[in-house]
Amino acid sequence: MVKRAHLKIKVLIASIMAAALVFPTVPVGAAASGKVEKSESGKPKKHKLARDLEENIDRAASGGTASGQPSVIIQLSDFAPRIGIVEKLARHQGRVKRSHDTLSLVSAELPLERIRELAADDDIEFVSPDRDVASFTVEGYNGHVGVTTGGAEGSVRVTGTTFTGNGIGIAILDSGIDKTHTLIKAASGHPGVVYQKDFTGENTTSDKFGHGTHAATLAAGRVDVASGAYTGIARGAKLVSLRVLNSLGQGQSSNVIAAIDWCIQNKATYNLRVINLSLGAKAVDSYKNDPLCLAARRAHNAGIVVVAAAGNNGKNSSGQKVYGGIHSPGIDPSVITVGATDTFGTNQRADDKVSSYSSRGPTRGYYTDTLGAKHYDNLIKPDLVAPGNKLIGACSPASQASSGSLIKQYPGLKVGAATGDKELMSLSGTSMAAPVVAGAAAMLLEVNPNLTPSLVKAILMYTATTINGANTLEQGAGMLNVDGAMELALLVQSNPATLTNGAAMLTNLLPSENYMNNTGETCWWGQGVITNYCFLFGSDLMTYWQGAYAQGKVLADASYASSGTIKLTSGLVSSGISFSQGAVTSAGSLLSQGTLFADGVVLGDGVVIGDGVVIGDGVVIGDAVVLGDSTPKADQTIYGDTATGMAFVPIP
C-alpha cells in the first residue's frame, strides 16, 4: 500500500536547482549595452516583434528573399481604441483581414518594411507572423481506447452509472467533420454534429482532408456501430465542427484564433465547454506573447477547457530523443497538453509506453526584454498522455475522392474492405490522443457542470497513472484514467467555485484505495498536479479547495521561481500540500515518489536530461537532442511506433 502524503509545505530545492531557475539572461546584440530605447511617448521600448518575423524583415532589408506573406497577428494594448487600428494600418499601407473581438487581436496584412514602424506605436503590444498550423498525425490502427483508458461506455466503477458527456458541447477545430459517416451520424443518445462553420475561405464545411472526422470519432463516436468497437469517449456530447484546416490539412493561426473567438461568443448557445485542438504551430514566442496561447487563455478564462496536442517532434531522423518540441498553443499553462502513448493493442497498461514521436517538454518559447536578454519559459509539459498510436476511426466520405486527403496520399491507412460512409482508417499521433482527453473532460463536466477548467485539469492529472520507463517531460502526470477521474468528480461539491481556499471540496472521503483496476491489474493514481517548474502532490489537493482551481486562475500560477528559489503562492494553495521540484524519474509508482534524475536537473536555459544530458541550445551530449532558439535540429519526418496483436471489427 502506498503511504499518502499529509505533510506541511516543504520546499525541497537542491542548490543547483535553485541556481538554475533564476533563468539566466542571454544578451543579444548591442541592446545588451544597457541603453534602453524609447518609444514616441518616452516610455522604454518593449521588444515587440516575434523572432521569426524580425528575421524575415532583416532578410528582406538586406536584399535577401523574404519567406512567406506579410500576414501578421497584432496584439493591441488593453486601452487601445479598436477602431483606430484600421486607420493606423492604412497609414502603413496595410489592412485588417479579421478582427478577433474578444481577444484584443487583429489579423492584418502590411508590407514587411512597414512593420517596425507600426510596432513602435504605443497601442501595439506585439506583432507575430500569421504562422502555419498543421495536424499531428501519422499512420496506425487500434480499437480499444475506451477499455484501456477506463472510459468504456462511460461506466463509473463507484456507482455503476453510465455517463456519456450528454449535453456538453465539444468544439473540434480541425479540417471539418463529415457528419454523413456512420460513426458520426445523429442517433438516439448521440447528437452528432450540431453546427458547422468554415474559417479557411474555401466556403465548405466538408472534411476533404479526413483528419477532423477521425478525431471527432475518438471524442464522440457512436456506441451502436460495430458492437461499440469504435465508441468515442463521450458519445453523448454535441459536436461543433469549426473548419480551420483546408482540403490539404493546412491552415493559419488566424483561422484558429477566429474559431476560438467564435467559441467564446457562442459558448452559451451550444453549451461549449471543451475545445479540441489536434493541431499546432511552431512555438517561437513565449506563451505570454504567442497569439494562439493568448486566444486559448481567453477561452480558459471564459470557462472553456482547452485541450491541445503536444506535437509529434519527439525524435529526429536518427531516432534520438528530442526535448523541447512542444507546439503552440500546447505551451500555454492553461491548456491541457496531451502526449501520445502506444498501448500495443492490449487493454492492460503494464506494457504501455510513451510513443517515441510524442513531443517532450519543456516549453522553449521565450521573450526578449528591453535590454535584449532572452527569457525562456521552460515549463513542464505535456500535462498527461493518452492512447494515440494506431487508433481506428472514421474515414470521411468526402476525403475518399479528394486527391490531397490523408487516405489518398497514404492508402495504407485504410482498414478493412468497407467503403463510403462505413470506411475506416487508422492514424497515430498526439492529434489522436487529444480528442480522447477532450471526451474525458466533457464527461467530467456532465457530472458537475460547475467544474472550472483548472479543476478539470487537476482531476485528470491527479488520477492519471504513471508509466514505467518515462519521465515527467515525456508523460506529464501520467496516462489518462477516465474511470478514476469520473470517480473523483462525482465526489466534488455541486458548486465548488463558491468555496474558499482550504475549504472541504468533496462530499465524501477519497477512495481508500486510489488505483485503477484495469483488466485485473492495479494501476495507482499518480496523485500529482503539475504546476510550472515542479509538481504538487498529496490528498489535500483533492480533499480541500485550492485557490488555483478558481475561475480564471491557472494551475501553473501556484508556484513560481524567485531569487533562485521555487516558491508557492499562498493565496492559490492551502496547507497540507507536498511540493517537489524538477522532473521526475520513471519510478513506476506514484508521481510523488519519483526522484530527480541522478545526473541532471531542469535548467533555466539549456535543458537537461536523463538518458543523454543536454546542455545549451541545440547542443547534444549522449543520445538526446534539445531544440534551441533557432531552427529546430530535429527532422520533421514522423515515425510511427510498431504495434502488434490488434484487430478491427468491420462496420456492418
* Distances from the Cα of 441 to the Cα of 188, 308, 435, 534, angstroms: 22, 12, 10, 23
pLDDT value for 22: 31
Catalytic residue among 47, 181, 190, 211: 211
Question: Is 286 assigned a catalytic role?
Answer: no
* pLDDT at 16 > cutoff 70: no
Question: Is 174 assigned a catalytic role?
Answer: yes
pLDDT value for 28: 34
Helix 291-301 to helix 253-265 angle, to the nearest 10 degrees?
A: 10
pTM, rounded to two decimals: 0.85
Query: Among 193, 155, 454, which Cα is nearest to 302's?
Result: 454
pLDDT value for 533: 82
Backbone angles phi, psi at 82, to 5 degrees: -65, -35
Q: How far is the C-alpha of 548 from the C-alpha of 558, rounded, in Å?
A: 6
* pLDDT at 565 > cutoff 70: yes
* CATH code for the structural domain at 134-626: 3.40.50.200
Question: Is 211 assigned a catalytic role?
Answer: yes
Catalytic residue among 52, 121, 130, 174: 174
8 A C-beta contact, residue 200 and residue 207: no
Cell of 101: 473581438
* pLDDT at 19 > cutoff 50: no
Q: How far is the C-alpha of 558 from the C-alpha of 541, rounded, in Å?
A: 12
Least confident range of 5-14, 125-134, 424-433: 5-14
Catalytic residue among 253, 402, 431, 454: 431
The mean per-residue pLDDT over the stretch 421-435 comes to 94
pLDDT value for 547: 95
| Residue 91 three-state SS | helix
The mean per-residue pLDDT over the stretch 278-282 comes to 93
Least confident range of 225-234, 577-586, 630-639: 630-639
For residue range 369-383, what is the model confidence (pLDDT) as tens digits?
888 888 889 899 999
Q: How confident is the model at residue 637 (pLDDT cuts 50, 70, 90)?
A: very low
Region of 493 please: left (phi>0), alpha (psi -120 to 50) or beta: beta
For residue range 109-136, what is the model confidence (pLDDT) as tens digits?
999 889 999 999 988 999 999 999 988 7
For residue range 148-204, what is the model confidence (pLDDT) as tens digits?
554 544 444 446 678 999 999 999 999 999 999 999 999 999 999 999 999 999 999
pLDDT value for 632: 37
The set of long-range contacts for 562-566, using a CB threshold of 8 Å and a minimum separation of 24, is 563/22, 564/18, 564/19, 564/21, 564/22, 565/11, 565/13, 565/18, 565/21, 566/11, 566/13, 566/17, 566/18, 566/21, 566/533, 566/534
Least confident range of 196-200, 285-289, 485-489, 561-565: 561-565
The mean per-residue pLDDT over the stretch 599-614 comes to 39
The full set of domain ranges for the chain reads 134-626
For residue range 296-309, what is the model confidence (pLDDT) as tens digits?
999 999 999 999 99
Q: How far is the C-alpha of 168 from the C-alpha of 442, rounded, in Å?
A: 6
Backbone angles phi, psi at 166, to 5 degrees: -55, 130
